[in-house]
Amino acid sequence: MDENTKNLQDDLKESAHRIWLAGLGALAAAGEEGTKMFDRLVDRGRDYETRGRSEARKQYEGAKSSADDVWNTWSEKLDETVTKALHRMGVPSREEIRNLTQRVEELNAKVEMLKPRVTPAGMQNPYGEVINNAQASPIVTPAGTPVTPGTTAPTLDPTDPAKIIA
């Protein structure tokens, strides 16, 4: 073989070997850079996730607040509409019923204070004394027995008001 061919073969071998080494270098660089690139991408992803969660939370809170406002507005309008409809039908409000109940209780107390405290003739007062009132109408016991004025009237048994002791 001549010298030229041998040099050409050596040059080709050397070129092929250099290409092989360049490929290995590119692979090593890609591995190193790939790891660095992967780490950078993970860091960027973390930042994006944090911002995304924060933004999502803001969006959620805003939507929730808007929904609450809408609900409160509609709820108030519904309450007003129902109240107006009930008023048109003559149904009193809770406050009106409360005021009327209080007034009735006050009036009942005043009526009780105005009632006379007269005991019919022949009846005993709480102290056991016979009350004699000649103009009072005769009293009849639950058993149907008349009580004559001036006599001792039957009294109630304090342990059982349904029983009358003569």
Q: How far is CA 152 from CA 28, 39, 149, in A?
A: 127, 112, 8
Contact between 122 and 130 under an 8 Å Cβ cutoff? The reply is: yes
Residues 105-121: tens digit of each pLDDT = 999 999 988 887 765 55
Instruction: Inform me whether the pLDDT recorded for 98 exceeds 90.
Output: yes
Alpha-carbon distance of 21 to 130, in angstroms, equals 136
Question: Is 60 exceeded by the pLDDT of residue 79?
Answer: yes
In whole angstroms, give the CA distance from residue 51 to residue 47.
Answer: 6
97, part of any domain: no
pLDDT in tens, 16-26: 888 888 888 88
For residue 84, what are the domain limits? 1-90
In a domain? residue 106: no
Check whether residue 124 and residue 70 sit in a common domain: no
pLDDT per residue over 28-47, tens digit each? 888 888 888 888 888 888 88
Residue 65 lies in a domain: yes
Looking at 44, 75, 90, which one is the last position of a domain? 90
Tell whether 37 is covered by a domain: yes
54-65 confidence digits (pLDDT tens): 888 888 899 999
Mean of the pLDDT values across residues 119-145? 55
- Does residue 71 lie in a domain region? yes
Q: What is the mean pLDDT of residues 148-165?
A: 54
Distance CA 69, CA 77 (A): 12
Query: Reduced to 3 states, what is the DSSP secondary structure of residue 71?
Result: helix
Same domain, 84 and 145: no
Overall average pLDDT of the 42-53 stretch: 86
